[in-house]
Structure 1
Amino acid sequence: MAPRNAAPKLVIIMVGLPARGKSYIVRKLSRYLNWLQYDTRVFNAGERRRTAAHVEGRGDKAKEESRLGRGQFSSSAAFFDPANPDLVSARDQIALETLDELLDWLSGRDSSSIGILDATNSTPKRRQRVLSHIRKRLGSLDWVIFFESCCFDHDILERNFRLKLNGPDYRSQDPNEALRDFRQRVAFYEKSYVPLGKAEEQEKIPYLQVIDVGRKINTHLIQGFLSNQVVEYMLNFNLSERQIWIFCGGESIDDSVGRIGRRSDLTASGQQYAASLVRFIQEERKRWEESRRNRGLEDHRQAKPRSTHEEVTLGSHADNKSPQPLDFCIWTSTMPQTIQTASGFGDEFFAKSQMKMLDDLNAGDMAGLTFEEIAALHPAVYAARKQHKLQYRWPGLGGECYLDLIHRLRPIILELERRKDHMLLVTHRAVVRVLLSYFLDLRRDDLAEMTIPKNWGFSLKPTPYGIDFSAYSYRPESSTFYLEPDARSRFFPS
């Protein structure tokens, strides 16, 4: 067990049949937890199985391949036959080796907070082996929760099955043969599958059970701080297609001379930017709705993942054959530069709100100064911030650092995940950095060094395979926003 003063730890053991969205959920969950600055890592048993299946026949790796029953069995349905005790043992061994890797990482580094075991763990016997192994390694189960993803909708499962064909187990195979093989794999799992419930409750094991990605959520003995962060996130989880736009406010009087952290009105250039933003968003909203209508349900069902072995459970909203136009909400900070930027959006077409949480990073006693003035008048402050940009808190009443801003923006992220409407956020560069670091899964060093041109805006579209990210730059000479190619690689480290 960890010392009383050690950082909190959590082991999340995933449970569920194949194609129930487990891997999609854990990747998104780990992105959120890492953004909150809880060092989180996913350990995927399927990846370990595939590695063992493709090792070259040399040395210790050749022995591992032999022990697992040779490579050809580790991706076909035959490898998952519950009637073959040798293969059951091989699968259990892969799961425990993956678990050992997780436990080594979690207990070997002070900064490690949350390890997620991404595997099926679909039988009580397997789950007992996992718990016994953790108890042996850690001396306690205080850190452990189970997390099961369930799905009962036939149409949703069919879509998920087809998404699996682009995964690493099947992408090089004939689609029809691959689909038959995967159905057989699922059938093998279903023979012995037992969902979480009575057995775990009798042993007082905490668990979270999510049905159809949030349609229904069951919890049992979820009490710890980190566990509750997971539950809160899943309560706001949805996969509706929508647009999320993030823009800085137009140029303010303070911006024009480099002063930071104050309330300031727009310049004439900022007002021109604001008018151009209204036209741009109206055009993009119309284009998106037309594309949505033209694409129709069938195109949506046939959409394929763009990254490897991703699976997703789509909500029932996808079955609406005549989708209604989505509402469009605009959130600004409470500072005049953003309120004025959004003032041209008509109230009859856009629901506007002002949110204190979207205010600029509070510069404390440095508000109203330029960075050159800070360097000249307060050299120690300037040097300290330059050395520790993420953690350094501006001195004076209300002064903040980027870690404070992450904490302040957490409810915004949860609300963006919950909303099914289009969203436009008009805010400030520091806030844009923190929001994009969540959606783009950036680590703390990337957040501190991220370059955000003030006249750029960003589009984020949740999809079955993650986030479609686009960036647009404003050209004042034409009062137009232009799509920027390769924006992520140019401005955001991988």
Structure 2
Amino acid sequence: MGFSIPNSDRTDVTQIVVVMVGLPARGKSLIAGKVKRYLRWTSVKAEVFNVGKYRRTDNPHPDAKFFDVNNTEGEKARKAAAEAAVADMLKWFQDKDNKVAILDATNSTKSRRKWIYDKIVEANLLHLYVESKCDDEDLIMSNILEVKTSSPDYVGQDPEEAAKDFRDRIRNYEKVYQTIDESEKNLTYVKIINIGARVVINQIQDYLQSRLVYYLTNLHIKPRSIWLSRHGESEFNLSGQIGGDANLSERGQRYAKMLPEIVKRSGLPKNAPLTIWTSTLKRTSQTAQHLQKELGWEKLQWKALDELDSGMCDGMTVPRTDTLSPDRILTVMF
């Protein structure tokens, strides 16, 4: 589901800083990228400011020791990177058409979050802290192996050694990590726990903030597969009629019977809890009937998937619509 803000109202949209919070390997950068794409799709100008990119300017391939709390030089370099990212972000907001900046970093301590909050308030911007928490070890290790071993920090390194070093980096962050709690109840935040298994929301006040929270609470950060199928040939397809709620033709029924095997051959994941979605029209439900019977999946109908209403042309053939006057055709179209 998306929304778009009319151009005439766009200057009234507030400017918001989305501040990512969480340990490494919790999907923060993935979430940040998805939020940016979603906002741009809805015509809201957004940008990600990744502190790691700023840090790599002077420290392109640090090992885990760089992130040790006792490493004063490392701490100094990380703070400098954060300051540079925040400075560029605030400069970006000088263009009032720019609406949402995503500060992508661990922001793992209350003192760091307070420093960022003060900068945001000083610049007269709104904020939304997004904390991604995960204690599922399988999910964490999957993220380390699938994502972090391809990080710019580990280019050219052995994947196993990179994964080990990154695990050590996480342990260093764990020593100082402070989750958002009641002591920060003045913050506007959403806390996503174990990839959406539980969500905590606090102090949402602005319209755009609420739209971001809606998107975040419905976000899937793990890959998913979607199979799309046209309905089988209908009786109206044979007769050349528009719209309607016709049954499948004989050939359409044959397609419906073949569909379960076609889906199986397409690389169906084993034991995956899949759901069949159809429109409310008979031809789509009949196309899915054998999938439901043979594979035992739940089948749901959604009226939003129905074909657009053909108006007075419903049930007509295309040649028949040619006999309508131009005024009546415009009525059908608009």
Q: Same fold (TM over 0.5)?
A: yes
- The unaligned stretches of length 5 or more in structure 2 are 1-8
CA distance in structure 1 between the partners assigned to 2:38 and 2:31 by the alignment: 11
Identity over aligned pairs, percent: 34
SS, match of residue 276 in structure 2 = strand
CA distance in 2, matches of 1:261, 1:101: 54
1:145 partnered with 2:91: no
Matches within 5 A, 1:75-474: 75-105=62-92, 108=95, 110=97, 112-137=98-123, 139-140=124-125, 143-163=126-146, 164-201=148-185, 204-237=186-219, 243-255=225-237, 261-281=243-263, 283-284=264-265, 288=268, 292=270, 325-345=271-291, 347=293, 349-362=296-309, 373=322, 377=326, 395=334
Task: Count residues with an aligned counterpart.
Answer: 322
CA distance in 2, matches of 1:79, 1:375: 75
1:42 corresponds to which of 48, 61, 77: 48
The 3-state SS of whatever aligns with 1:249 is coil
CA distance, structure 2, for counterparts of residue 219 and residue 341 of structure 1: 41
Q: Which amino acid aligns with 2:16?
A: L
Structure 1 distance, partners of 2:222, 2:10, is 42
What displacement does 1:146 show?
A: 0.6
Give TM-score, length-normalised by structure 1. Answer: 0.55
1:184 and 1:330 map into 2 onto residues whose CA distance is: 43
Q: Which runs of 4+ in 1 moved over 6 A?
A: 239-242
Larger CA deviation: 233-242 vs 207-216 = 233-242
Distance in structure 2 (CA, Å) of the matches to 1:123 and 1:274: 56
Q: Which deviates more, 100-109 or 367-376?
A: 367-376
Q: Distance in 2 between matches of 1:255 and 1:48?
A: 58
What amino acid maps onto 1:14 in structure 2? M
Q: CA deviation at 1:172?
A: 0.9
Structure 2: how far apart are the matches of 1:133 and 1:171? 34
Aligned residues of 2:19 and 2:103 also touching (Cα < 8 A):
yes
> The residue matched to 2:195 in structure 1 has which SS?
coil
Q: Distance in 2 between matches of 1:100 and 1:32?
A: 24
CA distance in 2, matches of 1:362, 1:105: 45
Map Cα deviations across residues 269-314 of structure 1 (whole Å, 9 max, x no partner): 4344333324323x348x635xx4xxxxxxxxxxxxxxxxxxxxxx
* Whole-angstrom distance in 2 between the partners of 1:130 and 1:185: 23
How far apart are the structure 1 equivalents of 2:10 and 2:273? Answer: 49
Secondary structure of 2:13's aligned partner = coil
Alpha-carbon spacing, 1:350–1:90, altered in 2? closer, same or farther (3 Å): closer
**CA 1:343–1:175 in structure 2 vs 1: closer, same or farther (change >3 Å)?**
closer
Answer with 1 or 2: which has the greater Rg: 2
In the superposition, relative to structure 1, how do residues 332 and 128 fare at CA in structure 2: closer, same or farther (>3 Å)?
same
Alpha-carbon RMSD across the aligned residues, in angstroms, is 3.9
Corresponding residue SS for 2:268:
helix
Task: Give how far 1:378 is off.
Answer: 6.2
Q: Please list the CA deviations of residues 323-367 of structure 1 after superposition, one character each: whole Å capped at 9, or x if unmatched.
A: xx3454322111233223224445473433322121123455676
Q: TM-score if structure 2 supplies the norm length?
A: 0.77
Residues 81 and 354 of structure 1, relative CA distance in 2, 3 Å threshold = closer
Is the CA contact 1:207–1:222 (under 8 Å) kept in the aligned structure 2?
A: yes
**In 2, Cα distance between the equivalents of 1:335 and 1:206?**
44
CA contact (8 A) 1:11 1:116 kept: yes
Question: Which structure 1 segments of 5+ residues have no match?
Answer: 53-69, 293-324, 383-392, 396-494
